[in-house]
Amino acid sequence: MTVVGPFGLSVRDQALEADVQNGLSAVEAGLLDATKSEVPFITEAAQHLVRAGGKRFRPLLVMLAAQFGDPHAPGVVPSAVVVELTHLATLYHDDVMDEAEVRRGVDSANTRWGNSVAVLTGDFLFARASHILADLGPEAVRIQAEAFERLVTGQILETAGPRDGREPVEHYLDVIGGKTGSLIAVSGRFGAMMSGADERVVDILTQYGERLGVAFQLADDVLDIASDSHESGKTPGTDLREGIPTLPVLLLRARAEALGLPEDLELVALLDGDLSDDARLAEVLRRLREHPSLEQARRDTVRYAQEARAALTPLPDCYAKSALEELCDAVVHRAG
């Protein structure tokens, strides 16, 4: 048994291990190649987050999904590069929107070079992803375009907030289905599709990725509050300080509105105050860690991960299926 990929995923078969490791190495080389420009400054900015590392969660899913066909098919690695480039591009844009100062342990691009360079670098990465996609065929282009539309729609919905009468938690789950679930669903879909897997298998792995993507984001929501380390790649409380809605906070607000308990109302008031003060942020984190809304968010994370695992049931038993199931457990463990 060898540990590979994000979350210490264990692979119990040497052939699968070799395919995954070789595939991820090829993706890394592909990312560096795709982010090169004749202009040295563009190369530096475009490779800033590539070289900072990351979980490579989406390429890993592409590699595992490809095991249900021919994992060495020529479109597998390029499609994994496409989804990771797209993900990286959204990070450049997100950091501008959130005014983030740190990403993956290094200065964010907007902190280092300013907002304009960060936005344009994200656009450059989208362009390079599109260039690779063009060689994968019109169906791949259509799938990526639909996913990108969902991703942007999710971001717009988050910015706009729920419409009148819409339940905020329901709205939020729609947001993260678009922002996070869409691209992880495409990772499963591309891996299976590019490997030549049966259409039914492609559909199963797409649904798996969609549910796993939501669980992945909910686990990050929990980590932002519950973690004392940097497991999520960000300092705990970052989302709280930046006013980004997360599931535990939305659940707290719903409970405060429904029950009107003084301790809940007091915590909501603290959240709505100035969290740039370190002591105030620490107090909010302490109270949220003890609050039932955090445990409810954990249960919701588990539920989506279980739905992802259940989606795999029709697939034949094999080492790749076991690894995909373990990925569900690993996502849940992050929120534990």
**Token reading at 221:** 């929501």
Q: What is the pLDDT of residue 134?
A: 96
Name the residue range of residue 101's domain. Answer: 2-334
What pLDDT is stored for residue 53 in this prediction? 75
Residues contacting 310, CB < 8 A, separation 6+: none
Bridge pairing between strands 9-11 and 102-103 = unpaired
What are the phi and psi torsion angles at 96 (to 5°)? -70, -45
C-alpha triplet 247, 166, 164: angle, nearest 5°: 125
Q: How many folded domains does the chain comprise?
A: 1
> What is the pLDDT, as a whole number, of residue 117?
85
- Its pTM stands at 0.90
Residues 6+ apart with CB under 8 A from 315: 68, 201, 204, 321
- Give CA–CA dist 157/245, Å, rounded: 12
Question: In this structure, what are the phi and psi dihedrals at residue 309, rounded to the nearest 5 degrees?
Answer: -60, -45
Do 296 and 177 meet the contact criterion of CB atoms below 8 Å apart? Answer: no
Task: Please tell me the predicted confidence (pLDDT) of residue 100.
Answer: 63
CB 69 within 8 A of CB 197: yes
Report DSSP state, residue 2. E
Q: Strand (E) positions, 192-232?
A: none
> How many residues does this entry show for the chain?
336
- The CATH number given to whatever domain includes residue 30 is 1.10.600.10
Per-residue pLDDT of the chain (336 residues; tens, 9 = 90+): 444 555 556 666 888 988 999 999 999 999 999 999 999 999 998 888 888 878 899 999 999 999 999 999 999 999 999 999 999 999 887 777 766 666 666 777 777 777 888 889 889 999 999 999 999 999 999 999 999 999 999 999 988 888 877 899 999 999 999 999 999 999 999 999 999 999 999 999 999 999 999 999 999 999 999 987 555 456 788 888 888 889 999 999 999 999 999 999 999 999 999 898 889 999 999 999 999 999 999 999 999 999 999 999 999 999 999 999 999 999 888 876
In the chain, the amino acid numbered 71 is P
pLDDT at res. 332: 87
Among candidate residues 243, 230, 218, the one with its CA nearest the CA of residue 97: 243
Q: Residue 209: which residues within 8 A CB-CB, separation 6 or more?
A: 61, 65, 181, 184, 185, 186, 187, 188, 189, 308
Question: Rounded distance, CA 119 to CA 123, Å?
Answer: 6
The separation between the first and the last C-alpha atoms of the chain, rounded to the nearest angstrom, is 24
